[in-house]
Amino acid sequence: MINHYHKLIYFLPVALISGPFLPDLIVVICSILFLIDTFRLKLFEYYKNNFFKIFLLFFLFLNLSSIFSINTLSFKYSLTYFRYGVFVIFIYYVLKNYSNSKILLGYSIITTFVILVIDGYVQFTFGKNIFFFELQKYHGNLSYVTSFFNEEKKLGSFLSRMLPLLLISFIFIKEKYQNTNLDHFFSMMILLIFFLTFLTTERVSIFIFIVFFIGIFIKSKIFLKPKIFFLLISTSGLLIVFYNYPQLYLKMKSILYSSGILFPGYTKEGVVLGEYAIGKFIFSKFHHEQIISSIKIFLENPFFGIGAKNFKFISYSWHPHNYHAQILAEIGIFSYLIIFSLFIYFVFEIVKKYFQSLDLKNEIKFYLLISFFLSLMPIPSGDFFNNWVNIMIFLPVGYYLYINEK
């Protein structure tokens, strides 16, 4: 039976750009069927790893927090969270037992990025994407690219969080075909994605991508030869375009403004100081207020929190927009220490084994390291219990289990 439903994961990357329903449906179907096959085929050895042990401990405390929560609806989210643990093991099983799975999944990830890049630049250039979704606007004439996500600001989040798996897919495909000409295509793709992320005006995604971009150009062997060439070409091209098309320069200026990198400057009395001023803060006053609210909730409910997804009943926001703050406030200190110890464990294991080999696995470990490090960063983020977010958090873990065993 696994021979049939395992193919669903090849549709997962594309499903992620359709919204939360389809990707979660794939995860639920695969998790339920794989759990059945676990008992039918006695696949218990795949669960005998530190990830699943720590995950089970987290799952236990997650449900304990629901017992003490202010709203029993949190059980809906805590009980169903088990699907992510099973899904990670399923990904691990598929990558290990189906030789072409990493290539096919890689093609799916690359194809999804290519579609988003083309559609994103079409929307930026013509004001509408291929489905006629318009550029989103706020603060008057300021606009940003959303592509297939339409009114939701998720394009930058997808690009930055799926980037490690895109780079890992590049490595698997290059390893299979031994074609150095692919380096130029991969490098150009990264540059196009980098600039597209700026067009989304998502500050966190821009910040993540800049950090990642620096890491790629410093460490990766794949981009070693063409990196300087493409960097110079792209920079020169941008300067030429901005010189000949000043309206694009003004549009980029508005993007920097709307992303919070630039903003109108005012004195304490409200007098305008100039057209633009350099921002003092990377993140907004809104995020600061949510962090303060989360800390207060946590201090009042330190052990088990107020229950998963209950932040919205106390604050005016659906969630604190920060994983650290949300977990502390909603499910308490025990769950917080367990789940982040899991990612700290991944980081520690990768760093410990990083210098033990000089093959392509080292490059893959580097990208997984950054992926897990990003999950640990105390920066504004989505809802920790959102299925769309969790799929992108846990998908790299399946890759880690596969690479770590090899």
- Rounded-to-integer distance, Cα 78 and Cα 358, Å: 41
More confident residue, 197 or 255: 197
- The residue range of the domain holding 21 is 2-244+283-405
| Coil, strand or helix at 383 | coil
Cα–Cα dist 183/175, whole Å? 12
CB 307 within 8 A of CB 331: yes
Over residues 173-215, the pLDDT tens digits come to: 988 887 767 778 888 888 899 889 888 888 778 878 777 766 6
Nearest residue to 31 via CA among 67, 82, 73, 104: 82
Per-residue pLDDT averaged across 14-35, rounded? 94
Give CA–CA dist 39/19, Å, rounded: 32
- Confidence grade of residue 26 (pLDDT, cut at 50, 70, 90): very high
Judge contact between 333 and 178, C-beta under 8 A. no
> Which pLDDT score is estimated for 91?
97
Looking at residues 317-329, what average pLDDT do you find? 85
Nearest Cα residue to 170 out of 157, 155, 189, 156: 189
29 occurs within a structural domain: yes
pLDDT in the model for residue 260: 46
Q: Report DSSP letters for 291-347, one per residue.
A: HHHHHHHHHHSTTT-S-TT-GGGTSSSSS-S-HHHHHHHHHHHHHHHHHHHHHHHHH
Looking at residue 64, its amino acid is: L
Report the alpha-carbon distance of residue 57 to residue 62 in Å, rounded: 9
Rg of the chain in Å (alpha carbons): 22
Q: Which residues contact 118 (CB under 8 A, 6 or more apart)?
A: none
Does 88 reside within a domain?
A: yes
pLDDT at 97 over 90: yes
Domains: count for the chain:
1
Encode pLDDT of 340-398 as tens digits.
888 888 888 777 766 555 455 677 887 888 788 777 776 667 788 889 989 999 999 99
**Sign of the torsion angle spanned by Cα atoms 184, 189, 192, 194:** negative
Q: Please report, in angstroms and rounded to a whole number, the separation of the first and last CA atoms in the chain.
A: 25
pLDDT score, position 291: 82
In a domain, 270, yes or no: no
Mean pLDDT score across all residues of the chain: 79
Which range among 23-37, 303-317, 347-361 has the greatest average pLDDT?
23-37
Highest mean pLDDT among 6-20, 164-178, 307-321: 6-20
Rounded distance between C-alpha atoms, residue 366 and residue 401, angstroms: 14
Write the pLDDT tens digit of every residue in 132-162: 888 877 655 667 889 999 878 889 889 988 9
Q: Phi/psi at 372 (nearest 5 deg)? A: -70, -35
| Residue 315 belongs to some domain of the structure | yes
> Which distant-in-sequence residues (6+ apart) come within 8 Å of 223 by Cβ?
183, 186, 187, 190, 216, 217
262: in domain: no
DSSP state at residue 278: E
Distance of CA 307 to the CA centre of its chain: 24
CA dist 298 → 61, 208, 320, 325 (Å)? 15, 27, 12, 8
Determine which helix (DSSP H) or strand (DSSP E) holds 273, and give its type and residue range. strand 272-278
Q: Give the contacts of 98 (CB within 8 A, at least 6 positions apart).
A: 6
Is 373 inside a domain boundary?
yes
Q: Please check whether residue 319 is in contact with residue 341, taking contact to mean a CB–CB distance below 8 angstroms.
A: no
Q: Is residue 261 part of a domain?
A: no
Mean pLDDT confidence for 27-32: 96
How far is Cα 158 from Cα 222, in angstroms, rounded to an integer?
Answer: 23
In a domain, 188, yes or no: yes
- Return the residue matching tokens 């997808």: 158
pTM of the model: 0.82
Give yes or no for a contact between 337 and 61, defined as CB atoms under 8 angstroms apart. no
Cα–Cα distance, 143 to 136 (Å, whole number): 5
